[in-house]
Chain A
Amino acid sequence: MNEATVLFFIIIIFSILVIYWVSITVSIIYRRRRTASLTQIELTFADIVSRYLYNDPKNPLTLPEITQTLRDVGIKEQNKNNIQYLIRLMIRTQRTILGSNFYKLQKLYAQIPPHGVSIKKISSWSWYRKARGIREIYEMNQSQYFDEIFKYRNDKNIYVRREAQIALVVFLGWESLRFLPYLKRNMTLWQQIKIVEKLYDHYPKPELKWLHRAYKTEKLFGKKLLMRIIRKYELHAETDFIINNLNHPDYEVRETAIYCIQTFAVSTPTMDYIKRLYDEIPNATQQGQLLNYIYENSDIDLDFYLKQLYGTNDDLKLSVAEILWNNGYKEKVQEFYYQQYPNAVLNVG
């Protein structure tokens, strides 16, 4: 390797370093400017919202003034990132406030510049943009777009239909349950939980007439959703719906029923009914879960436990034996044990 080659390599490496330094410098300058710009948007939006909610009669804030102020800080149609940032601020603010100011904000959001952006996203080919548009609309409570969103409730993309179904709940509340029997596609556990949480956040007072109508649904996910709603709202008078699904032929429906019933304590006749259903559950693990519930929520029913002790499943027998042993029926467990070995001789000493 001669001197010229070494020099050539040094120049190459130095050039790469210079490119790195330049790109780092450009990146730092861009980040600083961008952060400053976003801070400016946030400050301006905070000022607008505060003045809009508490308008000073001596110095009233007008809509043209709001629009112009937002334009001045870069909220323009061609600047999509700024508009998206503003939408995030709007959603954040909407989530912060309740009462009369919530409705004032809703009115403001329908009038200021980005109001058409979210609805345009719904027409996009991309499922991601579509779902995001629906989410923005329901988060900002823009109920005027309800009809547009409604048609996506059975969309083939899980995220689009999930957001559309949550939007139904946000806009219609308990009444949205009337669409439950007509939903065509499956609803995942996560989706059910999101719907229950949204319903609870927006409509904490139950409207049982819609719940009763939804009981007619034959959809398995519908039954699971209804049971989760009953559990979340602690609707003691509606526990029959959960109990009647304890012996459902579908594994997951039974699983949800067993999970949900654990929130409630029931009367003695109802517990007797649950004990009868216990024998009809075709899965030993689920029987074990229900056995724990029965044990924790009722007095010791010796006949019931002895019947299980002399049953066929060894795991369940072990659980039952443990319950009886710990609750003053040691002799019953010993009796069961010895009757298994009638001819055994005890060898001691």
Chain B
Amino acid sequence: MRKVLVIQEDIIILKILERLVELNDYECKAIRSLDALNIEDQQTNFDFIITDILFEGIAPLQFVAQVQEVLLHKNLLIVTNMGQDKIKKEIFALRGVTGFYAVPIDLDEIEAIIQAY
């Protein structure tokens, strides 16, 4: 079964994304920080990782770099409150980021992407 990892500190966004993903026939692991990952997760090749970039103790760009380095994945979507153009440009400059969605978000766009996959 196709797998998605959702990382969001905001529990409401986390739950909504988890539900969205599950109803589209994906297996979803929803966590609030990277600390909740286990060894098995680090060996899984996720079809999508949908993550925030704002976490305590780590800079946004470093966080994205860390996710890209530590977790196997095919697509990386960013869903964040930090929607400034500067951040967006810097995130895309890292490469390997499939999409960047700043809050407020239209969840239909994210659903369309995972349905099209």
Q: Are A96 and B15 in contact (CB under 8 A)?
A: no
Given contacts A53-B16, A54-B23, contact A46 B11 (CB under 8 A): yes
Distance between A95 CB and nearest chain B CB, rounded to angstroms: 6
Q: How far is the CA of A95 from the CA of B13 in the complex (A)?
A: 11
Prevailing SS type, chain A contact patch: helix
Enumerate chain A residues within 8 angstroms of B14, measured Cβ to Cβ: 46
The contact of A56 among B11, B16, B23, by CB within 8 Å, is: B23
B116 at the interface (CB under 8 A from A): no
Q: How far is the CA of A191 from the CA of B15 in the complex (A)?
A: 36
Closest to A100 in B: B108
CB atoms of A54 and B16 under 8 A apart: yes
Residues of chain B contacted by A49 (CB below 8 angstroms): 12, 15-16
What residues of chain A lie closer than 8 Å to B16, measured between beta carbons? 46, 49-50, 53-54, 97
A98 within 8 A of B: yes
Q: Does B18 contact A (CB under 8 A)?
A: yes
Report whether B104 and A96 are in contact in the complex, using a CB–CB cutoff of 8 Å.
yes
Instruction: Identify which of B12, B103, B108 contacts A99 (C-beta below 8 A).
Output: B108
Q: Are B23 and A46 within 8 A (Cβ)? A: no
Number of chain B residues whose Cβ lies closer than 8 Å to a Cβ of chain A: 18
Residues of B within 8 A of A53 (CB): 16, 19-20, 107
Cβ of B105 within 8 Å of any chain A Cβ, yes or no, is: yes
A315 at the binding interface (Cβ < 8 Å): no
Please report the C-alpha to C-alpha distance between residue A99 and residue B111 in the assembled complex, in whole angstroms. 12
- Once bound together, how far apart are the Cα atoms of A54 and B17, in whole Å? 10
| A-chain residues with CB within 8 Å of residue B12 when the two chains form the complex | 42, 45-46, 49-50, 89, 92-93, 96
B10 surroundings in chain A (CB, below 8 A)? 96
* B56 contacts partner chain A, Cβ-Cβ < 8 Å: no
B residues sitting closer than 8 Å to A (CB atoms) are 10-16, 18-20, 23, 103-109
**Can you list 20 A-B pairs, Cβ within 8 angstroms, ordered by A?**
A43-B11, A45-B12, A46-B11, A46-B14, A49-B15, A50-B16, A53-B19, A53-B107, A54-B16, A54-B19, A56-B23, A92-B12, A96-B10, A96-B104, A97-B107, A99-B107, A99-B109, A101-B106, A101-B107, A101-B108
| 6 extra A-B contacts, CB within 8 A, seeds A51-B19, A95-B104, A96-B104 | A42-B11, A50-B16, A53-B19, A54-B16, A98-B105, A98-B106
User: 6 shortest A-B CB distances, which residue pairs?
Assistant: A99-B106, A50-B19, A46-B15, A50-B15, A98-B106, A46-B12
